[in-house]
Amino acid sequence: MDLILCHTTADFDALGAAVGLTRLLPGSKIVLTGGSHPSVGDFLALHRDEYSLIERRSVNPEKIRSVTVVDTQQRDRLGKAAEWLDLPDVREIIVYDHHLGQESDIPATRAHISSVGATTTLIVEQLQQQQISLTPAEATVMALGIHVDTGSLTFDQSTPRDALALAWLMQQGASLSVISTYRDPGLSLQLQQLLTKALENLEYLCLHGYTVAWVTLKTDGFVPGLSSLASELVELTEIDAILLANEYSLDESDSRLTVIGRSQIPKTNLNLLFQLLGCGGHSQAASLNLRKVDSQAILKQLLEGVKAQIPHPPTARDLMSSPVRTILPETTIAEAQRILLRYGHSGLSVVDAQKQLVGIISRRDIDIALHHGFSHAPVKGYMTVNLKTITPDTTLPEIEALMVTYDIGRLPVLENGQLVGIVTRTDVLRELHQERDGEKGRGREREKRKGGESNLSLPQLQNKLAPQLWQLLTKASAEAEKRGWHLYLVGGAVRDLLLAQAASGTLMIKDIDLVVDGFHKSADVGAGVELAKALQQLYLAARLEIHGAFQTAALLWHKDPELDSLWVDIATARTEFYPYPAANPEVEASSIRQDLYRRDFTINALALRLTTPRAGELLDFFGGLIDLQAKQIRVLHANSFIEDPTRIYRGVRFAVRFGFQIEPQTEEFIRYAINSGVYDRTAQDNSKTPALQTRLKTELKHILEAPYWKSALQLLDNLGALQCIHPTLKLDAELLRQLRLLERCLRRFDPQPTLIHWEMRLETLIAHLTPQYRAKVAKNLQLQEDSIKRLQNLASAQTEVMESLPMCESPSQVVQLLRQYDLPMLILIAVQSPREIRHQIWEYFTVWANVQPLLNGNDLKKLGYKPGPQYRQILDDVLAATLDGVIKDNREAEEFLAKHYPK
């Protein structure tokens, strides 16, 4: 006999999962081990005959061969049926559950536990894999299980997998009318009476902007459906969390306590609290059943646990953008619009000569003024002066309430009367969204970790980084905290650490970017430089470089015994503005949010906070973590590639390096920027276009020295991005052939290497252009002088070689022709020449260039020849004779001299 056990007081999820398992395990029977939820009982009163249900008392324990447990991992939730788990003839015990983080005391031989909204979803997925169809009755009860346990996909533990499972069950014929009847059946008469009593005796506590309520109900016996009563109380009273206790006795010596917990407070985890008492559930819904305990002590313990978990809500100091862009009341509407355009703001704060806030003007105000032709008018005539302001310590709930009550899109933050920041509606929505997503992410952390997709905490960072790097970051964060600043690890280091989560071992990252955000403490623009100087005092071996224009400093180590050749960039959080496409950006000090906003791709706009409080917090304002999981490169801004074409090359480099795809919209932005002709226009209008010159060369270096350079070039060509080097450059079949020949030449003739191979690849690309463009492109990319000269002379050198080489009748003539060119020039000529020419150059490299004269200057001196200019001619003639086979040894060489150069 194969049994499927539902937990006591079975709910629809347990029943639905059990029904689905009867299709996966043909012939198995379902046992309700100890009653059911009232709505489940009502459902079974009409539909029991549709399912393979048997009574516990009808089971012969001696015939049990396998036991499958659904929707629990605890023996005590199986009632007396738990005894069957210990029978000697039971061959297999299987557990299906969706409650993560629970210690199971069931001796399972197999377990299927996953972070989904309902256990039934796990069964549906297996049915789909095995292509097993259902009857409408089976589909209906399984759909009920998912609906009830996920609140029809509205509970935080709901996942896309639950939605897909429901869709499939609908295809199998699940009855929506039956589901609507039993999904929310309403409260029984007994529960309605208890609801009235609970509302009268409910106690409240407000903490950090959240309301927690608790109540104890005493009844004569067990009351089914208390979870429905708890949910009804939350809905009616709009509280954030509740602990509903029920004291009852089955007889004089057997007192019982049931507690139902519900929480809508971010970061609280009722499952952890209830597990301490041997019970559990979900992070936001848990329950316990205990015997012979002090009910008030238990309730007090749970209440204290909930209070300890309630997070301090973010304050304006955490949310605000700082410093604030301000204008004077006399600023014209036209100038205000220009400032909005430059910084991408939706409004500006207006201050007087004493820096006191006097008003705010929004983009809409400016647009209306411009529409009516008042571009010359001062903003003081259009700004809002009746302002609502907040302090740095104003909490998120208070900020949200102000915005909703007064329909305000931005709130200035004042400290001691001075404007120190501004909180916008977007800041609030982003924080609320992150809180909700963060709670879901924590609930699925274990499952994500299996796929290498988990979040990165501070302890995980310590375990993943090499110890010497962790020590450096610890010292840097300590120095920042001394000054009251926040310090963040940003960009590529965070990305690489997240990608390496599933890998073993520690990372020794060579390039680290740190950002100091100190404006909440009125730090000046040199915060990054100051921190770098402080760190150098702790690491005397590091060289300090300061780049004042960009408010950055760098610490560099060279072959250090611990840190090797480490490069640490330390910058003050900043925003940037491009005066024209491909220019160097103009930067201004700003906040960490704006610093991340200015970056190129979402996967590089991640930051990990290193300083307390909230150390280990991952800042992800743009979905970078999702894009890492989806393995896609997504740009932050539509105009990103127009402003900086090197981002195209970086995007391609990341895509090929990590095996990611460029997101379709991002690819459209790339093609639009290239096809718009903006790069040609800006190069004609401006003498300096660094993003098409030095910065483009740097990106080409990164690509062409990497092992994946061929794939990167092919992707660049597919996007049309080689036009950034020159409008006519394309990776056609001939250029591909030349690049293949180049690699053969470099492997054969420069194995050590003595040449810079990435530069040779770049020169080969440039050499594919028509001769009149080569030197110009090389100069534009600011290549080395010898590279520029080589490309400038390549056409004439190639013409001479191709015309003269076929006329050479002997090896000595070939050597005389080719030895006037250096190795790089001959390689460039070879890869562009026909096969016959190339083979002769190849033979020159492999054979003739290695032939040495049979005699040298010392030999000539011994033979009595006086040193002088004639030595060179004599040795050249000896070499030519050797190459041509006229002489083969020293005796013949001396005879050759005697004949042609008699003493």
* Residue 795 identity (one-letter amino acid): A
Instruction: Note the pLDDT tens digit of each residue in 427-444.
Output: 888 777 766 555 444 443
Taking residue 46's Cβ as centre, other Cβ atoms within 10 Å add up to: 10
Region at 887 (left for phi over 0; alpha for psi -120 to 50; beta for the rest): beta
pLDDT of amino acid 799:
95
pLDDT of amino acid 102:
75
pLDDT of amino acid 672:
94
Mean pLDDT across the chain, nearest whole number?
Answer: 88
pLDDT of amino acid 330:
96
Tell whether omega for the bond before 266 is within 30 degrees of 0, i.e. cis. no
Give 451's pLDDT tier (boundaries 50, 70, 90): very low
- Check whether 218 has a pLDDT greater than 50: yes
> To the nearest whole percent, how much of the chain has pLDDT over 70?
94
Question: What value does the CA radius of gyration of the chain take, rounded to a whole number of Å?
Answer: 38
- Check whether 524 has a pLDDT greater than 60: no
Give 882's pLDDT tier (boundaries 50, 70, 90): confident
CA 803/CA 14 separation, integer angstroms: 87
Cβ distance 78 to 63 under 8 Å?
A: no
* Residue 348 identity (one-letter amino acid): L
- Check whether 344 has a pLDDT greater than 80: no
Instruction: Give the tokens for residue 261.
Output: 């917990």
CA distances from 258 to 224, 252, 263, 534 (A): 11, 17, 17, 58
Instruction: Give the tokens for residue 46.
Output: 């009409």
Q: What is the 3-state secondary structure (H, E, C) of 456-496?
A: CCHHHHHHHECHHHHHHHHHHHHHHHHCCCEEEEECHHHHH
Task: Compute the half-sphere exposure of residue 668: CA atoms within 13 Å on the CB side of its CA.
Answer: 5
- Check whether 526 has a pLDDT greater than 70: yes
Sign of the torsion formed by the C-alpha atoms of 403, 434, 166 and 630:
positive
Identify the residue with better confidence: 761 or 103. 761
Poorest-pLDDT segment among 202-211, 319-328, 388-397: 319-328
Give 76's pLDDT tier (boundaries 50, 70, 90): confident
> To the nearest whole percent, how much of the chain has pLDDT over 90?
55
Taking residue 870's Cβ as centre, other Cβ atoms within 10 Å add up to: 12
pLDDT of amino acid 312:
80
**Residues found in the chain:** 903
Instruction: Note the pLDDT tens digit of each residue in 277-306.
Output: 888 777 888 889 898 899 999 999 999 999
Give 744's pLDDT tier (boundaries 50, 70, 90): very high
Identify the residue with better confidence: 710 or 346. 710
Identify the residue with better confidence: 588 or 723. 723
Nearest to 41 by CA among 139, 229, 182, 228: 182
Average pLDDT over residues 472-480: 94
pLDDT of amino acid 872:
80
pLDDT of amino acid 440:
46
pLDDT of amino acid 460:
67
Average pLDDT over residues 207-235: 89
Q: What DSSP state is assigned to residue 10?
A: B
Instruction: Give the tokens for residue 61.
Output: 């324990």
Instruction: Note the pLDDT tens digit of each residue in 626-681.
Output: 999 999 999 998 889 998 999 999 999 999 999 999 999 999 999 999 999 888 88
The position carrying tokens 């900086």 is 644
pLDDT of amino acid 435:
60
pLDDT of amino acid 436:
55
Residue 835, exposed/middle/buried by CB under 10 A (0-12, 13-18, 19+)? exposed
- Check whether 178 has a pLDDT greater than 50: yes
